[in-house]
Structure 1
Amino acid sequence: MKLSVIIPVYNVEVYLPECVLSLYQSGLSSIDFEVLLINDGSTDGSFQIAGELSKKYMNIRIFTQENQGLSAARNRGILEAKGDYIFFLDSDDFIYPNALPFLLKKAFENNLDILRFEYWNVTESGEKQSLSEYINKRKLYEDKIGDGYFLLENVYNREFYACFSLIKRSFLIQSGVKFTQGMYYEDIEFTISLSTFAKRAMYISKPLYAYRNRVTSIVNTFNRKKATDLIMVASRLRRLANQKEKVISHVLEETVTNLMIFVLLRISEPSLFKERTLLLDLMKEEGLKYLYPQKNLKEISIPILYNIMGCFSIYFLLPISYIKNKYITKKIRKK
């Protein structure tokens, strides 16, 4: 079997049929792939819909577990998968026609560990909205074969989504990399860690994935739990950087700094300002006392401010966070 498609399912009855049906409109014979629906304790009609779909398509397998989150569902899928390659598809997203045969042809012809491709941001109704802002940067590296450093340095551009890649199953299992359970931002650590093991990787600029923007409130979605998890992810990436050769470690450090800039800006907002001391203390405890300045003005000035002033830097970031929130709120209202 060529491909295992892993779809975590949790309360997505509105989107699940479109997601699954898109696989059968992709031009790949059903004998060449399997669909693993991991029902992660859904309380709506998702499980019933999954059952109906499995009656129609014999290559669908359903697994049910208590609600443990996206990471646990994906890890279960990896254990159960039988295909040569693995594709993580989120249950509220879908793929475009002819995507699977195209991807598999590229992967098998080039014996790839990881094949990264492009995506469309789509509205809740599935209408195309925008391509990644980094696509023009990445196009310079299209169809070139490189290693994990190639991906980290030239391709990801801070977009570490696991669902935008085709991954060789044997390579994934041999690496020992899994999704960390019970945490937000699990894709960041998984994608980066896995890439450090890759020997043959490729990028193609064809947008084959529809990433659905389910907008609730972008401004208010960041909380203490998410800040804590992001700090822990950055801490583990720093430890990983210390274990890797210099050519990869500097790219990992760049990611750590960017993640912490994001955290510093967010915890300077009013909604998290009361939590700032605890979160800043956690950064220090996790070995994030120092940030390495990077390329642009924001990535230079904020790390320097933090390195010199520590927790007091938050007060200088208040105006930046205020302006940023005003801009985001205005953008949401326009939509």
Structure 2
Amino acid sequence: MDQNFSTERMKKLSLIIPVYNVEKYVAKCIQSCIDQNLNKTDYEIIIINDGSTDNSFEIVKAIAAGHENITVFSQTNAGLSVVRNRGLELAQGEYIWFIDSDDWIETNCLQSITEKLTDIDVLAMGYVNAYDDTSKNKKIFPTSAVTNSGIDLLHNSYIVPAQFYIYKKEFLSENNLFFEPGIFHEDFEFIPRMLYFAKKLVVYNKQFYFFYKRPDSITASINPKKSFDYIKIALNLIAFEKKNVKKTEKYIFHNVIWLALTNALHNSLVMDGVTRVKLNKEFYFNKWMFKYLDSGTILKYRIERILFVIFPKHSVFIYRLLKRFVK
């Protein structure tokens, strides 16, 4: 029986760029991915327009027209998680790097990066918090500790955005690692699960990714939905922990879950009274979490847990009181 085998060599790396209303920034992002020292046949750039209403899509199409390794897709607006998941389905590379369209990467960094991508699940990298005033830029290193697996990074609470890791596509697929649709802070839900499964992880203490701190970004804005999403994230992580996490490692996950819950409570500091009442009801509805999460090691979380168990109807009030008197 005759078989048709593709003569095209498998790409080493897929860069996935979600685009939504970033007409001021997207050209710089894409150009940084083009200006690389890696052969264009070894990597691809997948750009997915998520229903932009400004000129982003037109800018993307114009740039892509001159580059064979750039593929552009467009869809109705569905959110970052859905776009990233679609990018994973479309990617032809052995490894995946998510790049936000208002950020950029270092010129000629891909050759150095791909040399590290040898039979590993995940590559963790440093990054630069980048500002319009470059004198404020700050380099961030993943860790100075010896790290051989994702659980090591999780132990050090290195829960950073998904862009600061590069993933083997097969590793993500085998462990059913996708992004939760419809929530803010989807990376906080994804990264702990990903790190727990990453048995072969390498830390590359280079800062090739520029994380632009634009003042109008989603992460910088105030939105009450973020608090309710953090509760959903905590519930998802509890379900994951029950099913997958070894007994000796549960305390690590419980610290992460408590961080999600306190992030939800922290947003109450800028909420109106009506929304705070709704948030408090949501915590009370899920009050079983406080009794379940009994193995965290951080003192602050232990104190909060005790108070929330004793006074389950007043979680938001207790947190706000603690923030006022305990610095």
Same fold? TM cut 0.5: yes
Q: 1:223 to 1:175 in 2, by over 3 A?
A: same
Name the residue aligned to 2:202: 202
Q: Deviations over 1:106-142 (max 9, x none)?
A: 112xx1101100000001466661133xx3x81122x
Letter in 2 for 1:168: K
Q: 1:70 to 1:218 in 2, by over 3 A?
A: closer
Name the residue aligned to 1:63: 73
Name the residue aligned to 2:7: none
One of 123, 127, 144 as aligned partner of 1:115: 123
Name the residue aligned to 2:308: 306
TM-score by length of 1: 0.85
Letter in 1 for 2:177: V
Name the residue aligned to 2:252: 251
Name the residue aligned to 1:333: none
Q: Deviations over 1:31-57 (max 9, x none)?
A: 111000000001111111111111121
Consecutive unaligned residues of structure 1, counting only runs of 5 or more, are 328-335
Q: Give the 5 Å matches for 1:154-193.
A: 154=156, 157-193=157-193
Q: Deviations over 1:285-325 (max 9, x none)?
A: 4442334474555334333322222233433433555699x
Name the residue aligned to 2:154: 152
Name the residue aligned to 2:267: 266
Identical-residue share of aligned pairs (%): 31
Q: 1:131 to 1:301 in 2, by over 3 A?
A: farther
CA distance in 2, matches of 1:49, 1:126: 26
Q: 1:88 to 1:219 in 2, by over 3 A?
A: closer
Name the residue aligned to 2:55: 45
Consecutive unaligned residues of structure 2, counting only runs of 5 or more, are 1-10
SS of 1:196's equivalent in the other structure is helix
Q: Which moved more, 1:276-285 or 1:51-60?
A: 276-285
Q: Deviations over 1:149-173 (max 9, x none)?
A: 223113xx24331100110011111
SS of 2:271's equivalent in the other structure is helix
SS of 2:170's equivalent in the other structure is helix
1:14 has 2:24 as partner: yes
Q: Deviations over 1:151-204 (max 9, x none)?
A: 3113xx243311001100111112111111111111112122222222211112
Q: Give the RMSD, CA atoms, in angstroms.
A: 2.6
Q: 1:208 to 1:250 in 2, by over 3 A?
A: same
Q: 1:280 to 1:170 in 2, by over 3 A?
A: same
Letter in 2 for 1:129: N
TM-score by length of 2: 0.87
CA distance in 2, matches of 1:103, 1:273: 49
CA contact (8 A) 1:266 1:272 kept: no
Give the superposition deviation at 1:236.
Answer: 0.8
CA distance in 2, matches of 1:165, 1:222: 26
Letter in 2 for 1:35: I
